[in-house]
Structure 1
Amino acid sequence: MFARKIATAIVLVMAAAGTASAQSPTRIQQFNAWGAYSYQSGGGKVCYVLSVPKEKSPAGVDHGDIFFLVSQRPGQNISYEPQVMVGYQLQDNSKVNVVIDGRTFIMFTKGNSAWVENAAEEPALVAAMKSGKDMSVNAKSRKGTATSYSYSLSGISAALKQIEACK
């Protein structure tokens, strides 16, 4: 089941990056809860780390496939960009909160994805992920359902190190 989720994530990542002509992603290595991947796109090589939540709330709701990823796109001057992807449409003009060790990072939403609202905070979010143990992501669906996802940060530092030299 995990492999199917990862395959779905890869397709979603490629679609979000506008890489219809991209080659299939290659799994570089798995580091506990985080996997490192890469693929070639028209804009150059794309590398990213990805994880799925260990817990989803509320129970009994179809969340679809849920992912948190951090991507590097050197050809587009994008370095360590965090993103949330969910299996449903997020509420328009809502915010997604990412909480690590009591520190909250705010993300803006578009469709079924969210990105850090203030791009200058992206390095702080990535640093918090590297030093933290657990991360929670809180969102609201277009239908108004409050959702929450819990991620393990075990392996994030090693996975990010693996894509450090993405070129």
Structure 2
Amino acid sequence: MFVKRIATALALVLGFTGVAMAQAPSPTRIEQFKAWGAYSYKSGKNTVCYVLSVPTTKEPASVNHGDIFFIVSQRPGQNISYEPQAMMGYTLKAGSKVTVKIDNKSFTMFTKDSAAWVENAAEEPALAAAMKSGKTMSVSAFSARGTPTSYTYSLQGISDAFKRIEKCK
């Protein structure tokens, strides 16, 4: 089940990074660190590394959320470090925002289709730092139908997973 979710997440990540699905490489699981896995794949001559987790809770429980992921990617060949992305199993409400809360810190993400990215790219390192030192992380969003949704993630293992993808080359 987890492998299927990872394959789905990789397909979505590759789709958003412009890699043709027919040429999509398979991800390599580097290592699992409690709730967070570290993965890599080749994109042309570059290696893309990322950490990924699935929520521990999904609200409301009465709706079909599909596959939900939180990913932080590292693409050294493109000078991209710690790019967070929320990936939903449904289309997000057009023009809506996704809120990521880590302890008492909040970060706003803009949405496109079924994904969200940090609105102010300069805050990406702060979000990654908050994840490393935080105890709890929640993600709140609105579906295209207007349904408010929320997800809780464990931050156990995130620091070790980040350390592992820092070696990405």
* Normalised-by-shorter TM-score class: over 0.9
Name the CA distance, whole Å, in 1 between partners of 2:85 and 2:103: 19
TM-score under structure 2 length normalisation: 0.96
Query: Which residue is equivalent to 2:7?
Result: 7
Alpha-carbon offset, residue 11 of structure 1: 1.6
CA deviation vs aligned residue, 1:2-59 (integer Å, no higher than 9, x gap)? 2221221122112221222242110000000000000001261100000000000001
Please list, as runs of the form range in 1=range in 2, the aligned pairs for 1:65-84 lying within 5 A after superposition: 65-84=67-86
Whether 1:141 and 2:147 are equivalent positions in the alignment is no
Give the alignment of 1:1-167 within 5 angstroms.
1-20=1-20, 21-42=23-44, 44-167=46-169
**Percent sequence identity over aligned pairs:** 69
| Aligned residue type for 2:13 | V
Q: 1:34 to 1:53 in 2, by over 3 A?
A: same
The answer on whether the counterparts of 1:36 and 1:163 sit within 8 Å (CA) in structure 2 is yes
> How far 1:99 sits from its partner (Å)?
0.2
Q: Any unmatched runs of 5+ in structure 2?
A: none
Instruction: Report if aligned partners of 1:22, 1:42 keep a CA contact under 8 Å in 2.
Output: no
Q: Deviations over 1:93-144 (max 9, x none)?
A: 1100000011110000011000000011000000000001110000001100
Q: For the Cα contact (< 8 Å) 2:11–2:24, is it kept in 1?
A: no
Task: Could you tell me which runs of 5 or more consecutive residues in structure 1 were left unpaired when the two chains were aligned.
Answer: none
- Aligned 8 A contact 1:22 1:40 in 2: no
Counterpart CA distance in 2 for 1:57 and 1:48 is 26
CA contact (8 A) 1:19 1:42 kept: no
CA distance in 2, matches of 1:34, 1:102: 22
Counterpart-to-counterpart distance in 2, 1:131 and 1:79: 18
Q: Deviations over 1:64-102 (max 9, x none)?
A: 000000001111111110000000010111100000011
RMSD: 1.0
Q: CA deviation at 1:166?
A: 1.0
